[in-house]
Chain A
């Protein structure tokens, strides 16, 4: 039985006076894919960005409650944010590789963390690209500019770039919204592959995606967590009326 890697306890987040997240409590198991769904503006991305404190960049953000990462409260002040973000990495909506070569994109993270040895960097390139299924395709074109890759490859590269800093949790903020349906399916397969080594939390608008890839699903609405349960249960026998209405497409 996998243990909880993230425990959210009575977590609130305010933009100024506006409560964006209201009293959230749930836990995420290690080596699972957790999907956060809900209509636009419900706070799912805000919640995701709370896990690696990316909201700190926004002025006027204030939080209450706890988020425990392996037992340590990461929502409190005085946390080493650089170390936290290395452990809890994030993939964004649009593929956004740096305008550098494929190799330099992957080695960027290890380098800023001070790794200088060429053999270790090379190993990181191979390992990360292998894990996202790009190694065979790109091993002979590591000097290629990353921006010349296809959208899907770029998004895979962005995931590989993240894996190179050895995260434990991979947060994905609608990682397929800029991709075509076939690329989307392949990235979903990748998520299933990734959960063997990492814990994946994905925010998505796409309910089929949540149903296909996730083990557990949370439905958020207006800053509240309406229901958090086994994905199968959420999609077949939800306990809340709102959940049923949302997953059957009656609103949202």
Chain B
């Protein structure tokens, strides 16, 4: 397929991999931030082409994985109510709360629907004026403009029966949180390409300078990732810590400014809990006062739900790159994609699910 096959060329991949081998003289730990990159690495076996002492650490960049249990519980509560149509992206449906998941709520009669765009949820609200339509707004900066647009349009249309359970998170604060941890092993980053398509990469300059880490904005195809790794290793080997853009075919330094403007119009930056990591300051998006009427937490009175995470699951350590999925005693036994204990096993982009699917035996 055009624009994809070019980036999956086996021979070119081998050539870049050889170059990585050539320039690598020491062990390095590199984190790919985005779950989409983790998925590609494991699916194509990219890490197996790399020198043994380059370790890829799978970062917290899977929106499904980092959505806190608390918000899942709120979603389950709202979705089970009569007269509610609960809309969500597909893979949120399997995320386990403390006792159940959205698929089970649906099986017991809840009206839970998969949508491909938040705007579809607005359409459903228009078509069902007698019912409450709730959209589960999760994701990073990548999906934030689309959710913002849904709220914006719902406001323009003065829809009273549409609201959103917002759990948007931001990437750079999470990278900073990881870097400021004393246990941090990460020496360089592949920044999430699609996040930067929206946000640009100016916000990474202070991070690279403050923590002296190379940050390379990287795409999602095998050649992108291999080239991103090569660029990080070249920086590390020469003692540089710069922000570079591997994904220039999609990312501009300033990003997509109309999209950023829309996000600022609808959302404000707030502290947010990350599943398995804890609360990170300035790491989430919440609705602006002007759009408070669309806040599902307020509308359904679930704002005060508090839930503790299960102790057995090490997804927090996995998300921080401190443990590999196989190091968990529940991996592949008590915890599988059919019956996940933690969110990293749920999403196809979660590190545990990716390892389970491609590396189990």
Q: Are A and B genuine complex partners?
A: no
